[in-house]
Amino acid sequence: MNTESYIEDCLLQARPRLNTMLVLMFSEAQLFGQKSQWLASAITLMEPLGFQERATRTALFRLTEHQAIRVERHGRRSLCMLTPATAAAVRAARQRLDIPPARSFAEDWTILVNSGGISAARYTAARKRLLALDYCPLAHNLLARPASYCAGIEGASSSEDHGLASFDVSGTQLAAAMRQPLFGRSEWDLDAADALYREFQQRFQPLRKLLDQHGAISDAQAFAIRLLVSHGYQHCRRADPLLPQELLPASWPAMAAYQTYVALYCRCAGQARRHIQTVTSAAAAPSPAPGVARIRRPLLTSDHVLTA
């Protein structure tokens, strides 16, 4: 397997959005102690993913406009970093990914019930927020999540005023409630999540053998793989209703995909860290001395200009 062509194929198949990959890149750098990036290093870090300089500059400008990224001017140079709100959201999302998708009625659960005391519009909005916090839709008016879920997860608490009745129950009680007609029955789209998990496995499973070979990938390729694996697995998890295993088919591929994600993400960490630190150190080198010609390259024709 040629690693370079493999990464190119992954990019063609996944077609990740540049804005998404930029935010992931900044969050990866933060994990390794690099809380900010000079514009030049941000451009260089996106190159292994096939994104050209002009596209990266444009995407950074748009993310700045949407207050996802903050830019500080240091003379002619621009220092870029995630805003605190974006950094916290990405960190919490990564923490949720680290939780195995295996759930069971053998554990205790927190359930939220819509007893009809709020409007349909308010429930729809609350339901969307709670599903993003990994509650699973056991029925139309019943959301549930393992009681132990919140430990160590930023922003995982559902203590906001969502208007739903909250109960802590045993898995046995919840399983019994599911057999009653009181809550009705949800129609879960398992086919879409199943297809995404299997596609993820087909795409990334072969890499596990490749990484067993010493020197099989470069530091830049390890960094690119880490981003692509993270992006691909997030895409799978967003489609997964995260139901208890008792409600899933025996061949459900979520845990196999999770194990592939963890194995590749962790195996590439050392080389990815080295690549980020090398690129960041090079970009942080002193600017040319006064009198040395230096080209200023604007991001866009705008009052807000980012220069390398």
Domain ranges of the chain: 109-169, 190-276
**Taking phi first (over 0 means left), then psi (-120 to 50 degrees means alpha), and beta for anything else, what does residue 184 get?**
left
Residue 116 has pLDDT above 90, yes or no: no
For residue 296, report the phi and psi dihedrals to the nearest 5 degrees: -95, 130
Nearest Cα to 32, choosing from 226, 270, 273, 279? 273
Residue 23 has pLDDT above 90, yes or no: yes
Residues 234-289 pLDDT 10s: 999 999 999 999 999 999 999 999 999 999 999 999 999 999 999 998 877 665 54
Residues 134-172 pLDDT 10s: 999 988 888 999 998 876 565 555 555 688 999 999 999
Residues 28-46 pLDDT 10s: 999 999 999 999 999 999 9
DSSP annotation string for 70-110: EEEEETTEEEEEE-HHHHHHHHHHHHHHTS-S---TTS-EE
Contact in structure between 95 and 152 (CB atoms under 8 Å):
yes
Rounded distance between C-alpha atoms, residue 25 and residue 16, angstroms: 13
Helix (H, G, I), strand (E, B) or coil at 169: strand
Instruction: Give residue 13's pLDDT.
Output: 76
Q: Tell me how many helices (H) and strands (E) the chain has.
A: 11, 7
- What are the strands, taking DSSP E only, across 114-201? 136-139, 142-146, 165-169
Rounded distance between C-alpha atoms, residue 240 and residue 233, angstroms: 11
Rounded distance between C-alpha atoms, residue 295 and residue 308, angstroms: 9
Mean pLDDT of the chain: 85
Nearest Cα to 166, choosing from 123, 112, 118? 112
